[in-house]
Amino acid sequence: MRVISFSVKQGTEAWLEQYAAQYGFEGRIEHAPLSTDNVELCKGYEAVTVSGTSILDREVLAGLSRFGVRYVVERSIGYDNIDVAAARQLGLRVCNAVYDTTGVADYTVLLLMMCVRNMGETLRRMQRGDFRIGGLGGRALRELRVGIVGTGRIGAAVARTLHGFGCELMLYDRRPAQQLLKIGTYAELDALYQSCDALCLHMPWTRENTHLICDESIAKMREGMILVNTARGELVDSEALLRGLDSGKIAAAGLDVYEGEKQVIRREGGAEIPGTLRRLMEHPHVIVTPHVAFFTEHVERDVIASSMQSLALFERGEHNPLELK
């Protein structure tokens, strides 16, 4: 099988070559994202692998189909950059990748702790040479009632970690995880908004939950809520979040994902940073990081291994549990 990979991060090329060779694939590496501008490069390749910076809309997917591509692999768990329904209609088979998600869970807890202890403003003051501590007081993590919105693998790992710190946990998921009932209580979203000191978001993004966190939901929250989002930026209405922060309804936010991030992620933003994102970055009670919660030492290798294994399953005509239907 001939495989072409786009959006390849510098330093990961050797792993792509290694795993392609392991399965007997002939590979080509492109650091640029896949788009209508370069889709012709896929001519003669049976498979394409991409990451989130490649936007595979119907036009790009039609190009892949036209040039003979049969398989598309997303080198990530998230795949909202691919129009999966359009891919199916065009006869393309699509799957995502898996990796150890404990790094995302750890990072979520890190952001929560930083927000609880006002670490963003503390570091800003230190950079200015300001050693005063007025206004920097925080709370102990064990004092918090934390709401976990989405209790899949990542949300469950966050819940277990926070339970170890002594937090009281309230949980929300349409499919409750029975193993978490020993450490937390499932409730409706409104109950989490009204009762929790902090919310951690771990839901996949769908059309239905776009702007889950909005003016209406923020109005229901306890005064001084802390919000942590390591899931998808589209879950949070950024303008509503800023209004909540300015009013004091939301005390702090830790964001590894945010609306419009595809304009800036993996690039030097400078003047190109969207205005709303810049306001979040400059807000004294917001910590913004560049979508790195997943980025542990071995994660890139793991997603590449998973991607090539999926292509081998496709090639052999075997069942692929990661195929997106």
Tokens encoding 82: 């691919």
What DSSP state is assigned to residue 130? -
Q: Which residues contact 38 (CB under 8 A, 6 or more apart)?
A: 6, 30, 32
Q: Tell me which residues are annotated as active site.
A: 232, 261, 291
Helix, strand, coil percentages (3-state) for the chain, rounded to 5, are: 40, 15, 45
C-alpha dihedral sign at 148, 154, 160, 166: negative
- Classify residue 165 as exposed, middle or buried by CB count within 10 Å of its CB (0-12, 13-18, 19+): middle
Bridge pairing between strands 93-95 and 2-5: unpaired
DSSP letters for 42-68: GTT-SEEEE-TTS-B-HHHHHHHHHTT
